[in-house]
Amino acid sequence: MLYPEINEARSIIDLSGAWNFRLDDGKHGEGYAESAFIDNGTLMAVPASYNDLKEEPEYRSHCGWAYYKRTFIIPNSLVKERQVLRFDAVTHYAKIYLDGKLILEHKGGFLPFEIDITGKVERGKETELIVAVDNRINHSTLPMGNEEGTAFFGSDNADVPSVIAAKKWRKPVNLPNFDFFNYAGINRPVRIYTTPVNYISDVTITTEIDGKDGLISYALETVGEGTASIEIKDKSGKTVASSEGESGKLRITDAKFWWPYPGEPYLYKAVMKFGEDTYSLDVGIRTVGVKGIQFLINGKPFYFKGFGKHEDSAIHGRGFDFVLDMKDISMIHWMGANSFRTSHYPYAEEMYQLCDREGIVIIDETPAVGIGGTSEDIYKIGRFREHHEDVIKDLIARDKNHPSVVMWSMGNEPDVVTAPDSAYDYWHSLYLFTKSLDPGKRPVTFVCNQNNYERDRITREMDVVCINRYYGWYNLSGDMEAAVYALNLELDFWEKQEKPVIMTEYGADTLPGFHLSSPEMFSEEFQVLYYDTINKEFDKRAFMIGEHPWNFADFNTIQGPMRADGNRKGLLTRDRRPKMAAHYFRKRWNEIPDFDYKK
């Protein structure tokens, strides 16, 4: 799906602002409320998560539908154009009404969806737009929520009569089987964009390297009548290649390739035309692939230095925050990192565009986090396969053209050991499915939690083995000598698989400003000791091709006995101030080259 663009043929109407808003009162149907009900509510910022923007506790703890409303008028100058209403992300389920009529439904909170509204809007008249949003999560949603009866509810499950009796007093709540706050609402921009009546509906670009030349293959999808063409321009605006037709392959002689920063992330501009329409796209010429125990970018072995991240900040919640994205990129550069994983869902499109331009490498993850959380075979009792395929399809359709995206992660920490054969069948077939969809032929993986790695049959089958391990934190807590012993036993196992391995999560909760002379858990000294001890082991192993500490910054979670003001494993605080460990990594990573680190 193409990102909206303003150019000589297209325009954008931004619907950001203060919308009318009301939480459902339980007296309406599923996802329906009349306009007058919403008008008696409050105002809400769009885009943003609604949870932290009001002081009444029900906004934070809401479970169910919420309603947004605003009106718009299409400018007369645009009425002859094709008009498309686009939502970049509504979390997690959306029903869209125009003048009271349901025009669209969408499941999944982290990917865009759109509808052609040409002819559905009366000229010069205010049109009413209502967006109903459902934040409930369960065994059919991604991310996955726990369901009554099958879930482990921590100490609520204990065999204590008074606790069991008190369950009937529990309010309906979301029970995430994941460790980040279930921020909801219209989290990303809502726009109407226009195109000419005959238009380019999709573009696919892939690149190859042939000696000093770059090869750019393109394919346009178009609707209506017109002739198609493409021009490739270099940074100075000079056309370096061009062609007619809806698809083809262009040779750029003596090309400049896209390299991760501090190499130059060189971008060409592809300008496509079809009839009256035009669309342009940044193109980075680069290749990616796996060879033996190496991950290659432009044929050279790359070492991943970076993070698991979140889209999370005070007040905004998970709402799109371009200023924060800018700051994060700056901190990524400051720490000498070169990559991150979009744990645990696809991020806003603007972040990928920034990473293309700034030379930051992305492992692009679906929202499939929390598959499990029950003693039963989740692959038998869950109802998520079709949706999982849809999000993979939509993710690749959205992100396939980004040079920054080098690998797909199908999900995070699914249960692969309760029923290893079911898990194998599920993930192996999904792996083949993902591979079949990507025109860019990127490696495919999923991220595996700390488990019985001998019993787990599927992680070892991935192109790159991605493991999250908390030796010294959740287990062998505080004892780094025992932790290193255990880690090495496991690394011996992975060495035998002859696959490249990235440590996609490891970390320790740390309270900024809590210092100890003798490092114990939660102190800044312990976080440094933890990382320094473990990193030394990675340095001894050629197959360890990356380290992504968990997490880039502290982030918000559901309240609970394990979390004081959220998850504190950040190298940065939630407002992006460095803890001691950030300085430690800054020094370490500035000494580790992006390429050829492991011989």
Chain residues that interact with ligand BDP, rule: CB under 6 A: 179, 344, 412-413, 449, 468, 505, 550, 567, 569
The catalytic residue among 114, 349, 365, 413 is 413
Q: Which one, 145 or 359, has the nearer CB to ligand BDP?
A: 145
95 touches 72 (CB < 8 A): no
* Cα diameter, the chain: 76
Helices 349-358 and 385-399 pack at an angle, to 10 degrees, of 40
C-alpha torsion sign, points 369, 375, 379, 385:
negative
Amino acid identity at 360: I
Give least dist CB 555 to ligand BDP, A.
8
Nearer to ligand BDP, 398 or 569 (CB): 569
Which CB atom, from 91 or from 294, has the smaller least distance to ligand BDP? 91
Look at the alpha carbons of 510, 512, 514, 515 in this order and tell me if their dihedral is positive or negative: positive
Cβ atoms < 10 Å from Cβ of 214: 28
CB of 346 to ligand BDP, least distance (A): 16
First to last CA, the chain: 40
Closest approach, Cβ 321 to ligand BDP, in A, equals: 20
The nearest distance, CB 95 to ligand BDP, in angstroms, is 29
DSSP letter at 535 equals: H
Q: Are strands 444-448 and 465-468 parallel, antiparallel or unpaired?
A: parallel
Nearer to ligand BDP, 163 or 562 (CB): 562
* Residue nearest ligand BDP (C-beta atom): 179
Decide: 187 and 91 in contact? Cβ < 8 Å: yes
| Residue 86 DSSP code | E
Inter-residue contact 207 to 217 (CB < 8 Å): yes
**Smallest gap from residue 474 Cβ to ligand BDP (A):** 7
> From the candidates 81, 114, 505, 524, which is the catalytic residue?
505
Nearest to 377 by CA among 412, 411, 417, 410: 417
Cβ(197)–Cβ(82) under 8 Å? yes
As measured in angstroms, the least distance from the Cβ of 471 to ligand BDP is 13
Q: Any catalytic annotation for residue 128? A: no
Least distance in Å: CB of 518 to ligand BDP? 24
Residue type, position 289, single letter: G
Which of 205/582 has CB closer to ligand BDP?
582
Residue position matching structure tokens 């986090």: 369
- List, as one string, the DSSP characters of 36-83: HHHHTSEEEEESS-STTSSSSHHHHH--SEEEEEEEE---GGGTTSEE
DSSP letter at 377 equals -
- 505 is an active site residue: yes
3-state secondary structure of 531: helix
Nearer Cβ to ligand BDP, position 442 or 569?
569
Residue closer to ligand BDP (CB basis): 35 or 418: 418
Active site residues: 413, 505
